Every structure is written in structure tokens, then in C-alpha cells.
Amino acid sequence: MKTVKNYLQTLVMMVLSLGLVLIINSCKKAKDSTPPSLVTVNISEITQTSAVSGGNITDDNGSDITSRGVCWSTTANPGVADSHTTDGTGKGIFSSTINGLTAGTLYHVRAYATNSAGTAYGSDISFTTASGGSLASLTTTTVSAITPSTAESGGNITDDNGSDITARGVCWSTTTNPVATGLHTTDGTGTGTFTSSMSGLTAGTVYYVRAYATNGVGTAYGNETSFTTTSGSLASLTTITVSAITTTSAISGGDITNDNGSDITARGVCWSTTANPVATGSHTTDGTGTGPFASSISGLTPGTVYYVRAYATSSAGTSYGNQVTFTTVSGPGLNEVWIQGHAFNPDTITVAAGTTIKWTNKDVDSHTVTSDSAIFESGTIGNNGTYSHQFNTVGSFPYHCSIHTEMKGIVIVQ
């Protein structure tokens, strides 16, 4: 009997000891775990009734995060007993959308995170919702200038409805109802019309486009329009060597060897004093279709290097031929006239009394400088030959070439 009693006493002591160990371990675990560490993310995308915030839980401090989000109130240091979001579990960065706000109102926001040790909060951040007004009113411009990879559209913001337009442009997608957080342009601020250039498109693809306008209330969209990028390839062409170069003009052209499936709607040459000129700069317009064509370049500066490329435009876009360069002829100096291209350059020259004018023949053909009233006569002037005459009397002195009578000039003495 005594043995049984001793056994029972021993069993009770073992149970009590085990319970004590479990209690100590539980207390130790609770003591080791603390509320999470976190920060509140700055407020963004503020409208009259909504905003976006969030948090970054940098450490769960030994206990899994079971709930997280942001809480807000019109008073400082809001808690989870106030309005709040629930945005998953675990550590790291999370985003929270705050809805149901009142326009023109100051709010306080804190991120929160809960673990077994309790709920911790990030810093208090305040913001004010957008004041009264409504979304902007706008329309989308019909798409134009469509190529395999680009197109143009735009919009017309007819009313900002009481809140300034801070961003505008177009957005596009291969699915309906594109939004400004996707592919989009940014084309200034304010109301009125604007133009937008879309690029990086895929050939032969249907796209949907909407103009957008953002004000303090939010982002509004114009009507949706659709278009299909062209599927042809750019034309193949070469640039013709420049010829007939003078002080202010030259002749070039191109040869379009293949339109590659899309009709040529414009062609010509473009030129510049810098490399790789484009058809939106100085250019000629020389018809349509494939084959060779000639282009007359004018309005050049004497003694200047120019770069020239032939261009061809089709529904696929604008392509260019090889680049060629040339230098315009240097012009005559002060009180000089050049005989060039069967013309006097300049054909009218004004000088002071007592000035001597020098003529130089730049042509291969011979010419003369013959006064219409027989006051001066050069005789025949060969290639690179010169003739000079001093003008001492005030008046106008017309002259011509007696060999090529269509060549005329005038000296005005003041």
C-alpha cells in the first residue's frame, strides 16, 4: 500500500514539473517576441475621394505577421479601431488603397502590422484630399500618319471642370479601354487641343487609343478610337550624285527601286548642313511612284558643305537613300561679279562713285561685259578671265553679254 502511495506521489510531481516547464517556456517565448517594426509609405494618387499609401514591414521581431494595412482618420495617430484596410500578411512592402474620403479634408494615415505580440504602427502621415470639382471633359483626336511602328493622335480638353489639368496625353493598348498607367504619352498641361505621337508599335496590329486628362479630382478619358498599323515595308531607294552646283543651288534626285508593297505617296531629296537630313527639314517634293526622279535644290549658302538624301514616303513610313555631300561654290567678293551658269552673279550690284568692279568668268564658255550705251566693253573673256572697270559717274549702267544676249546685268552708282 505504501508503495502505491509513493508511486502516486512521484507521478503527481512529474506532472507538476512538466507543467512548470511548459509555462516557463511559454513565458520565455512570449518575452522573446515583440510587435513588428514598420514604416508608413508616402501618400500618392490623391483625389477627392481616394488616395494610395501602404507600408514596409522591416522586421516581424520573432513572430509571424498575421494582418497588415493602413488606418486613417481626421485626427492624429489613427488605429485599427478606425477606418483601415487589410492587405495580406508577412513582411515587406505592401500597397493600400484608401477609399470613401471627403473632398478638401485633412486626413492622418498610419501603416499597421499585427503579430502575436500585438499591433505596431508606422509614422503618422497627413494629406488633404482634392477640393471640389469634377473630372475633366475631353475628346480623342482621330488617329493619323499611321506607319508599321508609329501613329499620331491627341485630344481636346474642353473643360477642366474647376480643377487644373496637371497631365494630359493619349494611352493605347491592344485591348479595349487603355489607361494612363499603361502605354501613354505626356503632352503638357492645361485645357485645349494637343497632339500626341505614339511609337514602338507592331506592324499589322489593331490598337485602341484614348486621350486622357488628369486634374485634382482624378483622370478622365476621351472616347476610344481604334486603328491598325500598316504591314508593308519601307521603300528601297538610292540618292543621285549632286551636280550643277552653284553658289546657291544644285541638282540631285533619287531612284526608288522598290516600293515593297506600299504605294509611294511622296518623294524628293532633303538636305542640311548636318549629317542625316530628314524630310521634315529642308526638302523638295517631286511626285509619286517608283523609278528615278530629279530634284532642284535652291536657297543654299555659298561655300558651304551640305548633306543630301533622297527620301520616299509610303503608308509604311519614310525611308532614305544613301547620304551624299557637296560644297556650294564660293560667292563673289565685295565689288565683284561672277559670270557663272550663263548669268551675272549678282545681276545687280550697287557701289559708290569711284569704285572699280571686277568681273570673273567662271564658265567654260566665253562671254563679254558690254555696256548697253557703249560706255564700257570687255571684249571676249575666256574661262577664268577677268575684266575691270571704274565707275566715277552717278547713275544706272545696264550691260549684257554680246555673245549670249539673254545674259543681262546692271551697275548702280550712288
pLDDT in tens, the chain (414 residues): 445 556 556 665 665 555 554 544 444 444 468 999 999 999 999 888 899 999 999 999 999 999 999 999 999 999 999 999 999 999 999 999 999 998 889 999 999 999 999 999 999 999 998 776 789 999 999 999 888 888 999 999 999 998 899 999 999 999 999 999 999 999 999 999 999 999 999 888 999 999 999 998 889 999 999 999 987 788 999 999 999 998 889 999 999 999 987 889 999 999 999 999 999 999 999 999 999 999 999 999 988 999 999 999 987 889 999 999 999 988 888 899 999 999 999 999 999 999 999 999 999 999 999 999 999 999 999 999 999 999 999 999 999 999 999 999 999 999
State CA 132 to chain mean position distance.
33
Tell me what pLDDT residue 42 has.
Answer: 96
CA distance 320 to 310: 6
Tell me what pLDDT residue 49 has.
Answer: 85
Residue 318 domain-assigned (yes or no) = yes
CA distance 157 to 15: 81
CA distance 32 to 100: 40
CA distance 180 to 226: 16
Does residue 148 share a domain with residue 113?
no
Q: Which of 87, 111, 128 marks a domain boundary?
A: 128
Q: Is 144 left (phi over 0), alpha (psi -120 to 50) or beta?
A: beta
Does residue 241 share a domain with residue 192?
no
Amino acid at 9: Q
DSSP code of residue 300? P
Q: What angle do CA 347, 327, 254 make, to 5 degrees?
A: 100
Place of cell 559717274: 393
- Residue ranges making up the domain that contains 85: 37-128
Does residue 270 share a domain with residue 287?
yes
Residues 6+ apart with CB under 8 A from 35: 61, 113, 115, 117, 118, 119, 120
Q: What are phi and psi of 343, to 5 degrees?
A: -155, 155
Does residue 240 share a domain with residue 224?
no
Residue 188 domain-assigned (yes or no) = yes
Q: Which of 90, 105, 128 marks a domain boundary?
A: 128
pTM: 0.39
Does residue 366 share a domain with residue 346?
yes
Does residue 242 share a domain with residue 181?
no
> What b-and-e string marks burial along 60-91, b requiring 16 or more CB atoms within 10 Å of the CB?
bbebebeebbbbbbeeeebebeebbbebebeb
Structural domain count of the chain: 4
CA distance 98 to 118: 23
3-state secondary structure of 40: strand
